[in-house]
Amino acid sequence: MTDLNHTHDPAARSWVASANAPGTDFPLQNLPLGVFSVGDAAPRIGIAIGHQVLDLSAVLASDLIANQNLSPQARAALQACTGQSLNAVMALGPAASQALRHTVFDWLHAQAPAAQQAALKPCLLDQDAVRMHLPAQVGDYTDFYTSIYHATNVGKLFRPDNPLLPNYRWVPIGYHGRASSLQVSGTAFHRPRGQVMPAGATQPELQASQRLDYELELGVFVGRGNAVGASITLDQALHHVFGVCLLNDWSARDVQAWEYQPLGPFLAKNFATTISAWVVTLEALAPYRVALQRPPEDADRPDLPYLHSLENRQHGAYDIRLQVGLRSAAMRQAGLDVHWVCHTSYRHAYWTIAQLVAHHTVNGCNLQPGDLLGTGTLSGPTPQEAGALLELTQGGKLPLTLPSGEARTFLQDGDEVVMRAYCEAPGRVRLGLGECVAQVLPAR
């Protein structure tokens, strides 16, 4: 969808020093958007640059704008950033968000005029001094199932003789989640309760889940929507996507095992979903587009025409590196760092972002700005790339050992799950999505 341009120049540097630090998630080439507040003030929109936040409301109130010859798209995007969520700027479509990103790139570039730098410096805040909020008002949340490795691994646990259902290679499987329980990174949540069927019992019990799990996912924010009854074609799908974040789809596996037939997940999934605070645009991710990489036996398998294009096959995937780490209460007390248990990549997904959008709307379903699509658990082909404890421990049979000496099959109270994501490639600047972090509190 997006050709490379001057905002992807790996040699570009910012006059914001922290944006040039090795390993930063937010170099000049990234510029993700988010919603923050300071103290008791109302939430407002900002852009991450290094370890700072560019307050767009402060920029609009400064003398800088009056002296700028902005394009209509950039000016409209800036005006849309005066609210308390990203929905308005998402609704403008990619031309506006790209114009905004290009404008801010030029403002923050090391070669920007001294007067511009002086005007913008008061608009920068330290990230440690702000509180992050959900980036958008999410009207609807759909969770997909795009990793064939995860689907197969989980299928083996529940259906050893038939792990992968016959529709998987044809249909981007998904279910409708619960938008009201979405939480921004850093928000703790209580262990859920639900019906479970204990081994050997003849009737279920209501109890706190004992098999609480995480799921490593990406979240995809919809930009421009579509009218009811009007589907979005595959070649136009990415024009309706604003950007991506990290997503942790917390799951109560014991509740899920009892309730999932015949209609799929319900209480096992809808109690909490955590997302990272910053939304990275597809334009920023353009240098990391790669070919769709399906298992060898499926490399030449055709998709139905509405889900197939040569462009999608050659450039539809993104090489976003993904990590999951655990830190128990005992580890925190001992000063131990996060213990990383999974390293994988989004490039292993069976279905691309464009295919998810095209399939979601092929029946005439209308997407709206700010709607969120989860990719489903992003496991890779090796055991070390499993994106959930259910897979890593083979349903609880193979406990993990933490640096504190503790064993884990599923999450305990006080455990903290940390997810990170980044992109890097030869000749490109590394950029990241920030962290997706939450701690498990005891059941109420």
Rounded-to-integer distance, Cα 105 and Cα 47, Å: 11
Would you say 307 and 355 are in contact if contact means Cβ atoms under 8 Å apart?
Answer: yes
User: Is pLDDT of 370 > 80?
Assistant: yes
Would you say 243 and 261 are in contact if contact means Cβ atoms under 8 Å apart?
Answer: no
What are the b/e assignments for 378-387, b being 16+ CB within 10 Å? bbbeeeebbb
pLDDT tens for 41-66 read: 999 999 999 999 999 999 999 988 87
- Strand ranges, E, within 311-409: 317-318, 321-327, 339-345, 372-374, 400-401, 407-408
How many angstroms separate the Cα of 101 from the Cα of each of 97, 135, 438? 6, 17, 30
Q: What is the CATH number of domain 6-133?
A: 2.30.30.230
Rounded-to-integer distance, Cα 444 and Cα 353, Å: 37
Task: State the catalytic residues.
Answer: 150
- Tell me which of 227-231, 298-302, 365-369 is least confident: 298-302
Residues 6+ apart with CB under 8 A from 396: 211, 409, 410
Q: What is the average pLDDT across 329-354?
A: 98
**Tokens matching residue 229:** 């009854």
- Helix (H) or strand (E) run with residue 104 in it: helix 94-108
- Helix (H) or strand (E) run with residue 258 in it: helix 253-259
User: Is pLDDT of 339 > 60?
Assistant: yes
The pLDDT value given to residue 2: 59
Write the single-letter amino acid at 216: L
User: Is pLDDT of 428 > 80?
Assistant: yes
The pLDDT value given to residue 3: 84
pLDDT tens for 191-207 read: 999 999 999 999 999 99
| Domain range summary for the chain, segments of one domain joined by + | 6-133, 141-441
Would you say 388 and 395 are in contact if contact means Cβ atoms under 8 Å apart?
Answer: no
Phi and psi angles of residue 281, each rounded to the nearest 5 degrees, phi first: -75, 155
The pLDDT value given to residue 64: 87
pLDDT tens for 293-324 read: 999 999 999 999 999 999 999 999 999 999 99
pLDDT tens for 88-130 read: 999 999 999 999 999 999 999 999 999 999 999 999 999 999 9
pTM over 0.75: yes
Q: What is the overall mean pLDDT for the chain?
A: 97
**Tokens matching residue 8:** 């992807």
Q: Please name the fold of domain 141-441.
A: Fumarylacetoacetate hydrolase; domain 2 (3.90.850)
- Strand ranges, E, within 292-396: 317-318, 321-327, 339-345, 372-374
DSSP-derived 3-state class of residue 315: helix
